[in-house]
């Protein structure tokens, strides 16, 4: 099974949304995601919790966590979330950067735009990695 890490500085917005979408949309036998940050905040931004709740994902119990060597140890891909020079680097790991705005202090309408862009990027990643969940037809 593949392990994907979504990382940003505070692990309180973009990376939380990305990991939640990834784990909701992926085949759990193929890949799972975790989110982390280099300087984790105390909580997920409330505006992010609100935006994700609108699409049926509850992040209210999620807690930001630090990106450690132990967490990154068996991961195959690190996706950084537009944090520039402050983004984490894990030597030897495949890495992508998604240039996304930080949702902190933005109005809900703009957070929704970021959320929807993240969802689209996650869907494309799952297709590239061939790890989409199989959808069963209704009986």
55 or 91, which is more confident: 55
pLDDT tens per residue, range 91-102: 778 999 999 999
| CATH code given to domain 2-129 | 3.40.50.2300
Question: Mapping DSSP to helix (H, G, I), strand (E, B) and coil, where does residue 72 land?
Answer: helix
Count of alpha carbons within 13 angstroms of residue 102, beta-carbon side: 14
pTM (2 decimals)?
Answer: 0.92
Q: Which two tokens stand for residue 16?
A: 């939380």
Determine how β-strand 2-8 pairs with β-strand 77-80.
parallel
* Residue 18 pLDDT exceeds 90: yes
pLDDT tens per residue, range 83-139: 777 776 777 789 999 999 999 999 999 999 999 999 999 999 999 999 988 754 343
């Amino acid at each position: 099974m593949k392990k994907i890490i979504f990382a940003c500085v505070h692990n309180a917005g973009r990376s939380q949304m990305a990991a939640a979408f990834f784990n909701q949309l992926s085949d759990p036998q193929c890949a799972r995601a975790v989110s982390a940050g280099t300087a984790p905040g105390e909580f997920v931004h409330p505006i992010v919790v609100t935006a994700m709740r609108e699409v049926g994902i509850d992040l209210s119990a999620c807690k930001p966590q630090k990106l450690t060597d132990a967490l990154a140890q068996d991961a195959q891909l690190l996706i950084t979330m537009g944090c520039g020079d402050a983004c984490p680097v894990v030597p030897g790991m495949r890495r992508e950067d998604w240039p996304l705005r930080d949702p902190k202090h933005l109005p809900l309408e703009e957070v929704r735009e970021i959320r929807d862009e993240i969802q689209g990027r996650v869907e494309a990643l799952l297709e590239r990695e061939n790890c989409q969940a199989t959808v069963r037809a209704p009986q």
